[in-house]
Amino acid sequence: MKVVMANDHGAVELAARLRKHLEDRGFDVVYLGTESTESVDYPDKAEECVNEFRKGGYEFGVLLCGTGIGISISANKMAGIRCALPQTRYSAEMTKRHNDANFIAFGGRVEYSEKPEEILDAFIDASFEGGRHERRIAKMMALEGR
């Protein structure tokens, strides 16, 4: 199982924690982030990560910046990407079950009420339900480029 991960300078510590957590769970993590607090532009990291993901063979992608907002917006500008920015385990589970998200984002400067590792686990352990959600995802993805 392979995962691709990237971060900017605003999430170095959290990226390291989540990377270790994924590896402990048995994932092979292709890490494209920075380990430095020297400024890196999050749109560039999002693009690099999505382009790697598009090569195939990845379960999902993980993106991190200071808030998770800028990097998730950047990724969602790219065709075929559904990057969620959940703040709880419940929202992480539901974004996979109902939205079939293929990326998850986190903020390195965000104070989460639940451990980010647990939020990530909820995302990983959930499965897409299909059914009525397939129609909605098709409509969502049809909005690209409008």
* Domains by residue range for the chain, with CATH: 2-142 (3.40.1400.10)
> Does residue 98 carry a catalytic annotation?
yes
Long-range contacts of 34-37 (CB under 8 A, 24+ apart): 34/7, 34/8, 34/9, 36/9, 36/12, 37/9, 37/12
Residue of 21, 49, 65, 83 marked active site: 65
133 tagged catalytic:
no
Using pLDDT thresholds of 50, 70 and 90, give the confidence band for residue 110: very high
| Mean per-residue pLDDT of the chain | 97
3-state secondary structure of 122: helix
Question: What pLDDT sits at residue 88?
Answer: 98
| Predicted confidence (pLDDT) per residue in 37-88, tens digit | 999 999 999 999 999 999 999 999 999 999 999 999 999 999 999 999 999 9
Q: 105 and 75 in contact (C-beta within 8 Å)?
A: yes
Per-residue pLDDT band at 146 (split at 50, 70, 90): confident
pLDDT band at 21 (very low <50, low <70, confident <90, very high): very high
Q: Does the predicted model carry a pTM greater than 0.85?
A: yes
